[in-house]
Structures are given as C-alpha cells and as structure tokens.
Amino acid sequence: MLAATPNSSFHTTSSHFEALNSDNFKILPHFSSVNCFPPSKKFHLSSILLPNAVVRSPRTRRRRSKSSRGSGNLCNQFSVGASLAAEPGIQPEDALQQSFAPFSIKIPVGDRHILVETGHIGRQASGAVTVTDGETIIYTTVCLSDVPSEPSDFFPLSVHYQERFSAAGRTSGGFFKREGKTKDHEVLICRLIDRPIRPTMRKGFYHETQILSWVLSYDGVHPPDSLAVTAAGIAVALSEVPNSETIAGVRIGLIDDKFVVNPTNKEMEDSKLDLLLAGTDSAILMIEGYCDFLPEEKLLEAVEVGQNAVRAIIEAVESLVKKCGKPKMLDAIKLPPPELYKHVEEIAGDELIEALQIKNKIPRRKALSSLEAKVIGILTEEGFVSKIEAAVTTETLPDLNEDEDEDEEVVLDGEIDEGDIRIKPVPKKPTPLLYSEVDVKLVFKEVSSNFLRRRIVEGGKRSDGRTPEELRSINSRCGLLPRAHGSALFTRGETQSLAVVTLGDKQMAQRIDNLVDDDEFKRFYLQYCFPPSCVGEVGRAGAPSRREIGHGMLAERALERILPSEDDFPYTVRVESTITESNGSSSMASVCGGCLALQDAGVPVKSSIAGIAMGMVLDTKEFGGDGTPLILSDITGGEDASGDMDFKVAGNDDGVTSFQMDIKVGGITLPVMRKALLQAKEGRKQILAEMAKCFPPPSKTLSKYAPIIHVMKVKPDKVNLIIGSGGKKVKSIIEETGVESIETQDDGIVKITARDLVSLEKSKAIIARLTMVSTVGEIYRDCEIKSIAQYGVFVEISPGREGLCHISELSANWLAKAEDAFKVGDRIDVKLIEVNEKGQLRLSRRALLPESAKQQNGNKANNGEITEDGSPDLKVAEPTEANSTLPENSFVKRFVRSGKDVKQTDKTVPKKNPVKSFINVSKKSTSAAVNGEAKI
C-alpha cells in the first residue's frame, strides 16, 4: 500500500503513475465530496496525495463503497484527490484546515437575528449547520449515498426530526428514558421540511438523500419548527445536492391586528393566525396553518409578509453559500433519452387520449396500466421501429475469382459493373431501438400528464367531464351507526369519509409529552385512517403513516375552531375519519364528514364548515393556452398527481379555518394564490349548501349512549372534603352511586360523569351535602352518632360531614362519661352552635332541651376549656352577623326524625314528644350551584 506521510508534500513521478495505474493499484475516482475546499483556493492535477491518503486496490475500493452506502461523504477519508493540486504557496494540509474553517452569519428575522453556523460540528456530512434563535438551537445535517439508487419518479429523500428531552433539561416520563418512536408533532415537522425541499430537487438525481434535524437546546420561548425548515434549507444549499433554489421558512402570527414574523410562544397565545410559510426568494413553495375565520384578503397579506421575510433570509444565506458551499453534483443527473418522449407518444398517443376520457377511476387506472405495459413491452423487449421508410444502402461483394485472361462477364440486371467489384443494392434491416424499463415508465407517466393537461387547457374538460370550476356530486347522511355517539357518511364523487364522534370525560383526553409541559392534554382530536381498500388495492395495514398523521392534523385544525368552550361543553371529543373511498381530497372530505358527525353527536358547534382541494396547471401556453395559470376546483387523484399544485382550504362563508398548500413546480406568486383562494371560497359555499341537504339530518342532541357530564361549583376549600384522605372519599362516592368518574379542580369545579340520571343525582346529593356551608343556628334532626370520645361524641349531620357534640352539650344533667348515656349508632337532634376557622363544627343537644332542664344544671357545664382529659377547646359562640350571613341561592333541606326518642339516663328529665318532619329553608351555598344538565 502506498501512502503519504503527514505534514509533507508528496510528489509522484511518472513511475508512480505507472504503479498507480497498474493491475495492483488503482486511483480512486474523484468523489464530489472532495470539493469541500473554498472556491477561492482551487487545486490542479499535480500528482499530490493528501495527508494520510492511501491507494487501494479495486477490490478494496468496491468493498469500501458498499459499506459506506447511505453514510455521509467523508471529506478527509478519500484516498486521492485526482483533480487537486496546491497552488503556489499553499500546502494540502492548509487547504484541508481552510475547508473545515468555521463560518457564521447573523440573519435578521422579524425583530431579532438568528445565528447560522457551519464548520463547527458535523464536518464529515455533506452539509451541516446549527441555527440559533434565542436559546433554541437546531442542528441539521444533509448526507447522500455514494451510489445512485434505481431511477424512479419519486426523489429518494428522507427527513427525520427529533426533539431531545435534554434540550429542555428533562427526561422522558416513560419507562424507556431514551427517545424512541417519532411523536406525531415531530412527524408534522418532518413533513414541513420535506414538502418545500422536494420541488427544488432536480429531475434525474437519484442519490439517496437524508436530512437529519435535532433540537439540541430549547428555551420554551422560541418555537423550533420554522427554525428547522430554515436550517434544512441552508444545509441543502451548502451540500453537494444539486438543488435548484435555496429555501427558508418563517412563521407569521396576527397579534392585535398586526403581523409578527416568528412570534414567541407567549405571543402566539393571543394570535388569530398560525401560518408557516416556506419558499424561495421569488416564489412560495408551501404554506400550512390555521386561523380564526380569517378573510382571504387578510390571509394574503400574511403570506406577503412571510414572503418578504423569506427573501431577506435567502439573500443572507446566498452569501454564506458563496464562502463555504460545496460544488453541486450536476454530473450525476441522468435523464431519459429525449427521443424516447416522441416514441412513447407515437405508440400510445391515440389510446392514451381514449383512456384519459374514462370517467371512473378504477377502469381508467386499469386502462392506463394496460397501455403502459404495452409500451414497456415494445420499447424494452421487442424494440421500437420508426414508421419512417427504411433507408436503402448498398452492399459490396468482392470478386474472389480474379482472372486477367477471363472473358468479359455478362452483367446481370440490377447489378452495376464497377470493374473488379460488383455492387448490388440491398435493403438495410432497421435496427430496433431498446430502452430501459425505468426510463420508459418515467416517460410514460410524464407523457400521460401532458396529455391530461392539454385536454383540460384546450378542451376545457377534465377526465370526468367537469369544467375547471365545477364540483363533483355530493351526498351525505347522518346517524347510520346507532351505538355511536355521532356518525356521518360524506360522499363527494369517488371520495367518501365515514366520520364517527365519541364523547367522554377528561380521562379520554389525549396526553402529549412535549419538551416543556409534562401533562398537556387535548380535549379534541381527530384521527384519520386511509386503508388500502379505499383505492381498491392491497397494502400495509398497521400504524398510521406520516401522510395519515398530516391529513388528520389538517382536518383537526379545521374543526377545532368551531367547537364550544370547555365551560359550555365539558366533554372530550374524539373524531375518527375512515376513508372508505378515495379519488382525491380525502382530508377535505374528513372536514365535511367530521362537521356533520359533530352535529349528529349534539356538539353545539359555532357554524358548519367545509373543505375543498384546488389544483393548477401553471404553464398553459405549453398546452395551447394563453399562458395564464388555470385553477381547478375539487381536484381528483389523477389531477393531483399530474398537476402543479395541491391547495387545501377549509372554512365557512365568512373566512378560513385551516389551509395547506404543496407545490410540485418552482413556486407560485401572490396573484395566483389570490385567484385560488377566491375560487376556493365559491366552492366552499356550494359544498355547504349541499351539506345542508343531508338526509337524514344531524340529530343535534346527545345520544342516549353518550355519558352525562354534570358540572358543580363548590368553594375551593371544600374540595378536600370530596377527595378525602388518599382519595378514599371520592372512591366511596363513585362506588356507592355507580357514576363513572368524579373530577375535581383546585378552583372548586367538580365534574361528575355518569351513564344514567339516577346515579348522577345520587352523587350530586352527596357532594352537595358534603360541601354545603353550615350556618350557626341550624338544627339537624335524627343524626347518627358515629364515634364516642372521652370529651364527647361525633355526630354525622350529613353524609361525610361530622361535628363534635361536647360532653357538656349532650345533656342538661352532668355526665361523667358519654358512654353512660349514648352509644354508637344512636340518633339525636343537634344544633350548630359554632364553626371555627378550620371549618370544624361544634354541636349541642342541650340547646334543644327545655329551658328548665338547662338552667337546672347550667353551672355544671364545661364551657369548652381544655381539660385534663384532652378534650378540645371548642368554645360556645353566639351567632354573629358575620358568621350567620347566608349564601346566595336558596335551597330546601329536609331532615326527618323518627318517632323514637333518645335514651335519657336521668329519669327526672321528661321525655320529649315525637317531632314530626319539617322543612328548614335557608340560602343555598355555591357548593350546590349546578347547571342541571350538560350544557348543550
């Protein structure tokens, strides 16, 4: 093995090159990742081996390439820089150090700057940057495989985004402390990164590319999602990936009717708009977000603000790319042969036009698949022969029997005598043209897309016969699932969504484990399911894909704006949207079906909303138009795949609630977006009108199978009485009454969830008595003695509420021990004579006895001082104006006493006559302020 020593300039001679080019040694090919030197320091071929460079045999090189597939291109591990030589005065090791020199730049974004750094960490990746906003730091790398993948119509790009808990000084609350499965909100950010970058990738580049992004530090103030989009765009621009444009992303908020670029988390709490925009310096590639019924014109203003902010970022990034960007791998782009397009059109032109006119999706798909197989068979197996007449050529036949003395030969017809050589004209057999199957598939798809565009632009008709503004037929029905709390089936053309609503209490809420909050709960969530059967195919059925998570979040954000507040509707709401048929715009069908299902479940929504997907043919001049972009309403799956835009908009007549736009071309401008938004508004109005014709209509009442949630308000200091020691009391109430759950809050809110009214009323009564505000002077009849102490007895005046009747207040006569006159389980009448600052009650039975009996033994009474037996110091307090004030809202309490009199140890005290039942009317406390039924 031949190697160069470090810190020395190694020059090879011609003999060295001969050795290197021999059978035993071979110079490794020049990898583009070697070109990590700054453009200002170019190298020329002068037989220089880099420090620590080695020359490997072909077998070693192949094994190296295979093992390193999918990993980053390592700048300092390549063997020979075949195109590098030092300029005068520059040594190779100096060039390497300069290539790894750190660069940083501050970029103004909104009212602050973000810091972009490269060359500090991740130097072996094709591109690596750290972007800092406040104390939030994103680290992003871009790597590509050394060997290209098989050509396909889908660029091999993968994006992974992860939020490390250590970024916020936390550890996962689960059993496994290591970050594992990607969370839903991380998947959404992966999609935000992927969607704007993919359109900037050049066709024909098939090296697998991977973008990895980590949140290394999070301050809880500056959100990392828009920062991650910008970091990914900068990393791609610095790498060797041959992208066409540099992208960046920003978030726009609307706070106090003012647009704010990259607002903080605190500012976003008061924002009416959450718009995340990504684009280039001249066009918009992606928007996504939600708003509170914002008009289209206001949304366009926000997009314009975001585009200006993106343009300022990209201008600064371009200067960074010029300093330390790597040369692009333009030589790796492999496109199909240009003449193949004409051959495909010649073979499949007429049949392709007929197939694209089939209205139904499945027959059209089968016809196109059959035609594609035919084209592939001709161009890859049999070979294609052009219809041009075969060329005529001549074939020379040498005369092998040369004889000077031979007589003159007779020239036959059709032959030309040219002395010793006879020339006979013969037809040349055409050579069949053969192409690779991958190239034929790519070209067939593009030709089909062009034919479809031409049909729409020139003929004004789409595959199903609609005009560009026309919608598909709409049908909807509600209540088709009797046991579900709410259900709806929404059908638009060949797209169908079955939406089901389930209501529950807080225990059904979805818990989200994020960087800052340990226990964030969502009381509304929508889950979207796209089984392979909805498109008539066989496929994987399992965990939700990234597409399903993204579509579900889009529909969830659209419906979230019409839900009532938790105070008005204290339910957790879950919506399931199962796509049973799909031919485009299934997420918007989920919005329409979900809205009807919510109404069928009795959820008091603010208004009805609908969603629609818009498409576009950008360059109409190429297909016979005047060059003006053509906007398509309610696009199908084929129009989405063959078109240039997928713009989903949800809302009502007044404004927009959620939106999402993906672009397959270089971007669109504001005038094009304005036209699409206004056309989408007209489409939403038509869909809402059709939804109003739903039959059977939504019930708009709670299902009998839905749980009943009752909300009570008690004094905050009474909450502990409901919970009890270790939760024993609340568990006993649930077990005794049969309710499902009782939820208490520190502010005094109590939510009771039950399946029937009987159990609900029982629990309401117990909690009301348990938390009622007792008033000095109230009389309680037929109360049970729960326990006996040396200094008195404890009497239960209401379920769970006890008070002390001191031994001095038990009888008019003097008692040495309470056990002498009473036992546990006896029932007595008592009067409330004091409530101390701790809420403890002091009761008196003696106060209800005749005056003569009390006066007889008045001097013997113990007035509450602490005695040697350890009795508490509960002094008798007369009712005052402060503690006798009754709460608001009167209520009626009934306490019934049986005719059985209480035992008397003193025979001289006359027995009291049985007292009949009576009603004591007083003010109702806030503890019993209930709303009757669930607020619907």
For the cut 70, the answer to whether the pLDDT of residue 455 exceeds it is: yes
pLDDT band at 836 (very low <50, low <70, confident <90, very high): confident
User: Are 103-324 and 474-692 the same fold in CATH?
Assistant: yes
- Helix, strand, coil percent values for the chain (each to nearest 5): 30, 25, 45
Question: Residue 708 in 3-state DSSP?
Answer: strand
Question: With contact defined as beta carbons under 8 Å apart, do 163 and 157 qualify?
Answer: no
> How, if at all, do strands 841-844 and 801-806 pair?
parallel
The residue behind tokens 């007035």 is 863
Q: Which of 696, 692, 577, 675 is nearest to 632 (CA)?
A: 675
d(CA 17, CA 27): 9
The residue behind tokens 């713009």 is 647
Distances (CA, A) of 748 to 585, 716, 743, 763: 46, 4, 10, 16
The residue behind tokens 């992966």 is 190
Question: With contact defined as beta carbons under 8 Å apart, do 291 and 299 qualify?
Answer: yes
CATH of 103-324, one of 1.10.12.10, 3.40.50.970, 3.30.230.70, 3.40.50.1370: 3.30.230.70
- Domain 474-692 has what CATH class? alpha beta
d(CA 486, CA 825): 50
pLDDT tens track for 766-825: 898 888 777 899 999 999 999 999 889 999 988 778 899 999 999 988 888 888 889 999
Contacts 24+ apart (CB under 8 A), 80-83: 80/27, 80/28, 80/49, 80/50, 80/53, 80/55, 81/30, 81/34, 81/43, 81/48, 81/49, 81/50, 81/53, 82/27, 82/28, 82/29, 82/30, 82/45, 83/30, 83/34, 83/43, 83/44, 83/45
d(CA 157, CA 208): 6
Question: Residue 197 in 3-state DSSP?
Answer: helix
d(CA 41, CA 37): 7
190 vs 725, higher pLDDT:
190
- Mean pLDDT across the stretch 308-319? 95
Starting at the edge strand that comes first in sequence, how are the strands of the sheet with 749-754 ordered?
741-744, 749-754, 708-713, 929-930
- CA angle 21/27/30 to nearest 5° reads 140
- Mean pLDDT across the stretch 693-700? 94
Question: Residue 45 in 3-state DSSP?
Answer: coil
pLDDT tens track for 59-110: 333 333 333 333 334 333 333 333 333 334 434 444 444 455 789 999 999 8
| pLDDT value of position 892 | 32
d(CA 525, CA 556): 6
Helix (H) / strand (E) containing 321: helix 296-324
- Mean pLDDT across the stretch 403-418? 49
- Position 463: which residue type? S
The residue behind tokens 């035993």 is 24
pLDDT tens track for 657-667: 999 999 888 88
d(CA 899, CA 907): 19
Question: Residue 583 in 3-state DSSP?
Answer: coil
Topology of domain 336-385+432-461, CATH: Arc Repressor Mutant, subunit A (1.10.10)
Domains of the chain by residue range: 103-324, 336-385+432-461, 474-692, 708-771, 778-848
CATH of 708-771, one of 3.30.1370.10, 3.20.20.70, 3.30.360.10, 3.90.79.10: 3.30.1370.10
Q: How far apart are the first and last CA of the chain?
A: 83
Tell me the average pLDDT of the chain. Answer: 79
pLDDT tens track for 415-437: 545 555 555 555 556 666 788 88
Beta strand residue intervals within 561-600, DSSP E: 572-581
pLDDT band at 899 (very low <50, low <70, confident <90, very high): very low
| pLDDT value of position 380 | 86
Ordered alpha helix ranges (H), 103-201: 184-197
Q: 32: which 2 tokens? A: 């583009």
CATH number of 778-848: 2.40.50.140
